[in-house]
Amino acid sequence: MKTVFSGLKPSGDMTIGNYLGAMKHWPDQQGSARTIFFVPNAHAITVRQDPVQLKKRTYDLVAWLLTVGLDPEKSIILVQSRVSAHAEMCWILDNYVTMGELSRMTEYKDKSQKLGPEGQLVGLFNYPVLMAADILLYSSNEVPVGEDQRQHIELARTIAERFNKLYGETFVLPVATMPASGARIKRLDDPSKKMSKSDHPDSFIMLQEPLDSIKAKFKKAVTDSDNTIKYDKTLKPAVSNLLEIYSGFSEESIDVIVDRYTNKGYGELKTDLGELVVEKLSTLQLAFNKIRADEQNLERVISEGSEKAAEIANKKLSEVKEKLGLL
Ligand code: AQP
């Protein structure tokens, strides 16, 4: 049975980008694969976090995973800081990757520029190696991610190949898989950039967004120059982004939606999209609030999941240590 592995970092409140590009698709694989989903909270601290918020968001995130349909009986749900093998494996893999390779990571280049002096931390630079450790510890075959993470999975593969060549078959080579839709949802105020939970609030819609601000945010969303509704990512990036969000929430194909809006303008599309997202998120938020209220249950899910994960991860770590002569 193949292993599918993915995660979401608690570096901000989840956005509809994280939902449409990642979380929403994860339950589909339960039952037909060994599914492991994790909260990479150690990745989150590559950018300064308020400890109280970080803890709260970790529980929030686990509650979201349960809300979208992950079942702890069918999937392993873990929190990264509870499985120390991730940090140990990262140090080992650091010796099988070069500074040049890490310098070429697009996300590092973007973030280090955007964050100024704080973007110069070694943790941010080294982030893709910790990610490789996360993936390789569980012999992951497939890593479902949004488009932005593809480069990191390729690096994990390169590191695994390099290690295998030196010490014999040790790591499974992971492959990045992309969702059929929603792989790259853009900012509402700037469709040339990815929607990110750590950006300005006008740029995103949170899963926990108050319902009355959802419609207002879509109304304010930037649009393209002429008033025709067409899907063309190059010539009409803003409206194409709105169509992708529409399709992600309505489960209709983009063609069907475009047909419906022939001879209609951006205003109508934005109003309808606001209403659709309010309807979908209000249902999700109700379910989330119920699950989130029982923190004891969330703690149980985390402890049991992390324990199961540690068993798998420690086995792989021991195998690697043995090969390297580390007692
Ligand atoms: N805008 C997006 N569209 C589609 N998929 C997205 N993902 C993130 N943003 C979008 C996918 O969500 C998964 C988890 O991402 P993450 O939280 O671990 O890190 P990220 O990609 O760095 O997400 P953010 O929201 O941009 O966080 P910050 O602002 O903290 O850096 C991944 O599969 C990702 O592709």
* Contact by Cβ (8 Å): 205, 15: yes
Distance 107 CA to ligand 1 centre (A): 11
Q: Which CATH class for the 201-289 domain?
A: mainly alpha
Long-range contacts of 23-29 (CB under 8 A, 24+ apart): 23/64, 23/65, 23/68, 24/68, 24/179, 24/182, 24/248, 25/144, 25/179, 25/182, 26/65, 26/68, 26/69, 26/70, 26/75, 26/144, 27/68, 27/69, 27/70, 27/71, 29/4, 29/144
- Element of type H or E holding 75: strand 75-79
Cα–Cα distance measured from residue 5 to residue 9, given in angstroms and rounded to the nearest whole number: 14
* Contact by Cβ (8 Å): 135, 156: yes
Cα–Cα distance measured from residue 281 to residue 248, given in angstroms and rounded to the nearest whole number: 12
User: Biggest alpha carbon distance in the chain?
Assistant: 71
* Contact by Cβ (8 Å): 8, 148: no
Distances (CA, A) of 226 to 164, 236, 266, 268: 54, 9, 9, 14
Cα–Cα distance measured from residue 120 to residue 46, given in angstroms and rounded to the nearest whole number: 10
Q: Is 137 in the pocket of ligand 1 (CB under 6 A)?
A: no
- 44 or 118, higher pLDDT: 44
> To test the ligand 1 pocket, which listed residue (13, 16, 18, 203) has its Cβ within 8 A of the most ligand atoms?
18
| CB-based contacts of 310, cutoff 8 Å, min separation 6 | 82, 83, 85
CA nearest neighbour of 244 among 282, 203, 277, 202: 277
pLDDT digits 0-9 by tens, 213-246: 999 999 999 998 888 899 999 999 999 999 999 9
* Contact by Cβ (8 Å): 277, 270: no
Residue 147, pLDDT score? 82
Provide DSSP, 48-73. ---HHHHHHHHHHHHHHHHHTT--TT
Residue 322, pLDDT score? 98
Nearest-atom index, ligand 1, CA of 43 = 18
Cα–Cα distance measured from residue 108 to residue 112, given in angstroms and rounded to the nearest whole number: 6
Q: Is 242 in the pocket of ligand 1 (CB under 6 A)?
A: no
- CATH code, 3-177+295-324: 3.40.50.620
Could you tell me what percent of the chain has a pLDDT over 90?
Answer: 89
Q: Is 196 in the pocket of ligand 1 (CB under 6 A)?
A: yes
CA nearest neighbour of 40 among 76, 66, 79: 79
pLDDT bin (cut points 50, 70, 90) of residue 190 is: very high
Distance 197 CA to ligand 1 centre (A): 7
Residue 166, pLDDT score? 98
- Element of type H or E holding 173: none
Lowest mean pLDDT among 6-10, 79-83, 123-127, 264-268: 264-268
User: Quick one: average pLDDT of 21-42?
Assistant: 95
User: Quick one: average pLDDT of 285-291?
Assistant: 98
Average pLDDT of the chain is 95
Catalytic machinery residues = 111, 194, 197
User: Quick one: average pLDDT of 206-214?
Assistant: 95
Domain boundaries, the chain: 3-177+295-324, 201-289
Quote the Cα angle for 64-68-73, to 5°: 95
